[in-house]
Each structure stands twice: as C-alpha cells, then as structure tokens.
Amino acid sequence: MKRIAILASGSGTNAEKIIQYFNSSKIASVVTVGTNKEDAGVIERAKRLGVPHFTFNKKELENGSVKALLMINRVDLIVLAGFLLKIPDNLVQGFPRGIVNIHPALLPKFGGKGMYGINVHKAVKESGEKQSGITIHWVNEHYDDGEHIFQDRVDLSPGDTPEQIAAKVQELEHKHYPKVIENLLK
C-alpha cells in the first residue's frame, strides 16, 4: 500500500476529495496532512476524516524538519493541494519525482511566484483567455516549472468573473486530481 502525504495551506477542498477517494483504495492511503497555517481549514477536514495532521513553519520546511517527518512516515508521494510555500531543494532532492502539484491554470501561462488562487483567475480574466484549466505537474526547485503530467481545460464565457472561473477550474481539480495521483502510484 502506497503512502500519501498532503501539504496544504488553505481550506482543503482538494485535500478532502483526495482523502475520500483513497479511503477505499487498495493502492494507497493518505497517512498525514501537513499545513503551514495554524488556522487552515484543511486541519478540520483532516480531523473529520480521521487523518493525522501536523503544522509547521517556513523555517521547519526549509531546515529539513518536514522532510524528516515525511521520511519517518515512509511517505511515497507528497501531494500539494493549495500549498503556497516554495518547496525547498532538500525536500525536492529527498523525494525525486515524488512531489506533485496542481496549478489552477494551463501552464506555462499564469504560473510563477504570486500566481495562486484568485490571483491566477484575475490574470486569466484580464488577459481575455477563452479557456482556462488545470495543470498537474511534478515539483522541482522552481515555482510551477516541473514536467507536466496532465492538463484539462474548460471554456470561458466573456462575462465570467474571476470567481466563476475559479469555480469552473475547481470542478476540474476535484474530478481529475485524485485519479491522476492514483495513476502515478500504480
């Protein structure tokens, strides 16, 4: 059985979908959820779903404490689900091709530092794009730069607000992220 750790910074809707998806899996299970925010909604979701969780700060992420904890938990795959801190080199090197992220746009467009959450959807709206979507990719030492694993797109209407774009994109996230993770672990 493969062991998944989820790192999240926010409300945890993707984390919840992933945990629920793997609850009945014979392939993998989510063994822990980590967050860098003590008030993140993902903590309550993890508690409700019976998944152990931990919090950490940026220094602990960078100094190898988080890496050590994940290694002690024998994690096979780290899944970023709305995690906003840059993954440090020590973690990338400790889990080569073992960290996956989902970005709420069609990379390479609308990626990089500061491009997360509603910022992405505002940029998509302002650019006049006719489509947006998701990109699931391997994590490397740079923001949103790792090899693409999967993309899917959704059509946009000229009148869509950034919030409406976000809702359309989130539907794709919930639909595809757990399945792509499962395929990576097979």
The string of pLDDT tens digits covering residues 77-104 is 999 999 999 999 999 999 999 999 999 9
Query: In the annotation, is 137 catalytic?
Result: no
* Token duo for residue 7: 């790192």
For the question of whether the overall pTM of this predicted structure is more than 0.85, the answer is yes
Catalytic residue among 103, 137, 142, 174: 103
What proportion of the chain, given as a percentage, has pLDDT over 70? Answer: 100
2-185 belongs to which homologous superfamily? Formyl transferase, N-terminal domain (3.40.50.170)
